[in-house]
Structure 1
Amino acid sequence: MERKNLSLGEFEIKFDEARKGFFSGYASKFNGVDSYGDTIVPGAYAKTVSERERPIAMRWNHTGPVIGKWLKAEEDEHGLYVEGELTPGHSVASDVYALMKHGAVNGLSIGYRIPAGGSEKKGDVRLLKQIDLVEISVVESPADLNALIGDVKSSISGAESLKDIEALLRDAGGFSRADATALVARIKSLSRGERDDETKASELFGALHALHTQITART
C-alpha cells in the first residue's frame, strides 16, 4: 500500500462549530507533482468512491485506531473532497480533534493501491489515473513520507558502521542516543533478506516512526 501526505494548509480544513468533531477539506489535490514524482489526474478517484463496498476507514497515523468515519468523499475540480466526523466520546478521537484545532498535527495522508493499468509513466513523472483508496488517516508526521524514506535510504547506503546508523536515527528519526542504540538490532534484522532496497527502507521507516510515536507518548 502506498501513502501520500497533505498538510493541513493544503487540506484547507474547515470546522463546523455547531457539530463538534465535524471537519471537511481535501484529502488529495489534482495535477501537482509531489516528491514521489507522481501526479494525480482528475478522475483517479471516480471508480473507488462510486463502486466501493466497504467504507473508507478514518485512522490515526495509519496504524492507529479508527477514530471516526468519513461522511462524504467525492471528486471536484480541485481534488478529493471529504467530510469527516471524529467519534464522540472516543478518547483518541478527542485528542486528535484538539490537536487539529490547535494546528499541532500535520494533516491527512491517504493509503491506497494502484490497480493494473492505473498509472502511466511520462518522462520522470508517474501519472496516477486510477486509485483504489484504502483509508484516509489524520497524521502527525512532520514531513512527506516518501522524502523521509529517500533520506533514510540515502543515508543507509553510505553507512559504514553501527555508529553511522545510530547517527542516522538521531538526525532523521529524532531519537535520543539511548533509543537509537537500542534500535540498531532491529535495523539489522530489517536489513536482511531478499527484499529490494525500497521495500526495506519503507519497512525501516515504518518501524522507526511507530517506535518514535510510542517513545514520544511516554515522555
Structure 2
Amino acid sequence: MDGHFTGYASLFGVADLGNDVVSAGAFAASLGQRGAAGVRMLFQHDPAEPIGRWLSLREDARGLRVEGVINLAVQRGREVDALMREGGLDGLSIGFRTLRSSPQRGGLRRLLAIDLWEISLVTFPLLPGARAAVPEGPAAPLAMELRAFARRLAPRGSPSARPVVARTVAALSSSVPPKRFA
C-alpha cells in the first residue's frame, strides 16, 4: 500500500464532545494562508510524531475534507498505516487556535474563524464523525498503483504531475460508490 487516505477532519454544524460547533468558512483564511503544506500531520497530537503530509485540505458542504499520505519510511507511519488498513485507527482531530467565536444556546460555542495548525490521526476524536478512510473497492488498487507510478516519474514536488494524477484517480474512482463516513 502507499499510505494514501481521505476523510473529514471536521464537520460543519455538528457539536463535538467539547461543545464546539465549527461553522462553514471557519478554515478559509487559515487554509488560504498556510495551504496544505503548512498544516502538519501528526499522530495523537504529538509534535514529536509527524507521520506524513497533507496533499489536499479543502472545505466542502459537509466539512473539512482531507487527503493525505502517511510516510512509510517512518516507523510510526508504517504502524499507523497498518492500523488504518485493518480498521484499528480511523479518527481525525484538529489542532487549532480560535480566532473568532460566539456563544450559542445550550453551552455550545460556535467557531467562526480558526487558525489550523495540525490535523492528527487519533484513536478517539473529539468529534466522533471526524474519520479517515483508506481507498476501497475495485478501483482502489489501480488508483494506488497509478499514484505510486506518477510519483516515481515526476520530480519531487512537481506541481504539474498532481492534477493529472488527481484527474486519473477521480475518473477511476467514479465507478466506485463513495465511502460514507460516520
| Band the TM-score falls in, shorter-chain normalisation | 0.5 to 0.7
User: What is residue 77 of structure 1 aligned with on the other side?
Assistant: 61
What SS class does the counterpart of residue 94 from structure 1 fall into? helix
What SS class does the counterpart of residue 65 from structure 1 fall into? strand
Instruction: Give the counterpart of 2:115 among 113, 116, 132.
Output: 132
Listed as ranges, the gaps of 5+ residues in structure 2 are: 128-182
Hey, what's the Cα distance between the residues in 1 that align with 2:40 and 2:76?
15
Per-residue CA distance 1:100-155 (angstroms, 9 max, x = gap)? 1111125111101102xx100122221100011010011124x649xxxxxxxxxx
Hey, what's the Cα distance between the residues in 1 that align with 2:77 and 2:71?
6
Hey, what's the Cα distance between the residues in 1 that align with 2:75 and 2:61?
36
Hey, what's the Cα distance between the residues in 2 that align with 1:38 and 1:82?
20
Question: Is residue 56 of structure 1 aligned with residue 35 of structure 2?
Answer: no
Higher helix share: 1
RCO higher in structure (CA 8 A, sep ≥6): 2
Structure 1 residue ranges, 4+ long, deviating more than 4 angstroms after superposition: none
Hey, what's the Cα distance between the residues in 2 that align with 1:140 and 1:131?
23
Is the contact between residue 27 and residue 113 of structure 2 (CA under 8 Å) also seen in structure 1? yes
May I ask how many residue pairs the two structures share in their alignment? 124
Listed as ranges, the gaps of 5+ residues in structure 1 are: 1-16, 146-219
Is the contact between residue 54 and residue 67 of structure 2 (CA under 8 Å) also seen in structure 1? yes
Question: Quick one: which amino acid aligns to residue 90 of structure 1?
Answer: V
Higher strand share: 2
Question: Quick one: which amino acid aligns to residue 47 of structure 1?
Answer: A
**TM-score, reference length from structure 1:** 0.53
State the Cα RMSD in Å.
1.8
What SS class does the counterpart of residue 43 from structure 1 fall into? coil
Per-residue CA distance 1:56-79 (angstroms, 9 max, x = gap)? 100111114111000110100000
1:111 and 1:105, CA in 2 relative to 1: closer, same or farther beyond 3 A?
same
CA deviation after TM superposition for structure 1 residue 89, in Å? 1.8
Instruction: Give the counterpart of 2:5 among 19, 23, 34.
Output: 23
